[in-house]
Chains A and B, each alone.
Chain A
Amino acid sequence: MEILMCIVAGLLFAAAVYLMLSKSLLRIIIGTGLLSHGTHLMLLTMGGLKTGAAPVLGEHASSYTDPIPQALILTAIVISFGVTAVFLVIAYRAYQELGTDNMEQLKGMETDD
Chain B
Amino acid sequence: MSLLHWAILAPFIMAIFVPFLRKKAASIHTGWFVLILPVVLFGTFLQYLPVTTNNDSVMQTASWIPSLGINFTVYMDGLSLLFALLISGIGSLVVLYSIYYLSKTKESLHHFYVYLLMFMGSMLGVVLSDNVIMLYMFWEFTSISSFLLIAYWYDRERSRYGALKSMLITVFGGLMMLGGFLVLSIMGNTFSIRELAAQATELNEHPLFLLAMILVLLGAFTKSAQFPFYIWLPDAMEAPTPVSAYLHSATMVKAGIYLVARFSPIFAFSGYWFWIVGTVGLFTMVWASFNAVKQTDLKGILAFSTVSQLGLIMSLLGIGAASLHFDSLDDNLFTTAVIAAIFHLINHATFKGSLFMVVGIIDHETGTRDIRKLGGLMSFMPITFTLSVIGAFSMAGLPPFNGFLSKEMFFLSMVQLMELNLFNIDTWAVLFPVLAWVGSVFTFIYSMIIVFKVFTGKFQPEKLEKKPHEAPVGMLISPIILALLVVVFGLFPNLLSYSLIQPAAAAIVPSIIPPGEQLYVNIYFWHGINAELLMTIGVVAVGILLYKFMPKWVRVYEYFPGKITLNQFYNAGLYAAERGSNAITNAYMTGFIRTYLVYIFAFFIAALGFTMWAKDAFRYDASAVAPIGLYEGCLIIVLLAATLTILMAKSRLTSIISLGAVGYTVSLFFVIFRAPDLALTQLVIETVSTALFLLCFYHLPKLSRHAEKRRFQAGNAIIAAGVGIIVTLLGISAHSSKFFASINEYYIENTYEKAGGENMVNVILVDFRGFDTLFEIAVLSVAALGIYGLIKLRLEKGGETNENK
Contact = CB atoms under 8 A, between A and B. Distances in A.
A82 B724 CA distance: 25
Contact of A41 (B666, B744, B790): B666
Contacts, number: 276
Interface in B147-164: none
B625 A75 contact: no
Task: Output the residue of A2, A46, A100 with the most chain B CB within 10 A.
Answer: A2
Given A13-B723, A54-B674, A113-B712, A33 B689 contact: yes
Nearest to B590: A107
Task: Output the residue of A33, A37, A50, A55 with the most chain B CB within 10 A.
Answer: A55
Interface stretch (B52-60, B268-276, B377-385, B731-739): B731-739
B628 interface: yes
A42 to B, nearest CB: 6
A97 B802 contact: yes
Interface in A47-74: 47-58, 64-68, 70-71, 73-74
Contacts of A30: 646, 655-656, 659
A11 B640 contact: yes
Given A44-B670, A55-B759, A17 B706 contact: no
Contact of B758 (A34, A37, A57): A57
Contacts of A1: 625-629, 632
Given A20-B597, A85-B783, A42 B720 contact: no
A93 B790 contact: yes
Contacts of B597: 20-21
B640 A8 contact: yes
A96 B624 CA distance: 53
Main secondary structure of the interface of A (DSSP, over half): helix
Contact of A44 (B675, B727, B752): B675
Interface residues on B, range: 35 or more
Contacts of B646: 15, 19, 30, 34
Task: Output the residue of B682, B720, B759, B779 with the most chain A CB within 10 A.
Answer: B720
A74 B647 contact: no
A43 B729 CA distance: 14
Main secondary structure of the interface of B (DSSP, over half): helix
Contact of B731 (A15, A22, A45): A45
Interface in B652-696: 652, 655-656, 659, 662-663, 666, 669-670, 672-678, 681-682, 685, 688-689, 692-693, 696
Contact of B669 (A2, A41, A77): A41
Interface string B763-781: 0110001001100100110
Contacts of B644: 15
Nearest to A73: B678
Contacts of B779: 79, 82
Task: Output the residue of A1, A7, A113 with the most chain B CB within 10 A.
Answer: A1
Contact of B780 (A11, A78, A104): A78
A69 to B, nearest CB: 8
B669 A44 contact: yes
A44 B772 CA distance: 19
A78 B776 contact: yes
Given A1-B632, A50-B673, A88-B692, A14 B724 contact: yes
B210 interface: no
B611 interface: no
B790 A67 contact: no
Task: Output the residue of B701, B760, B764, B780 with the most chain A CB within 10 A.
Answer: B760
A21 B721 contact: no
Interface in B568-602: 591-594, 597-598, 601
Given A6-B735, A34-B643, 4 more contacts: A11-B643, A24-B705, A26-B652, A65-B673
Give 8 nearest A-B pairs by CB, closest first.
Answer: A14-B724, A10-B728, A6-B731, A18-B720, A82-B783, A67-B760, A57-B758, A55-B760
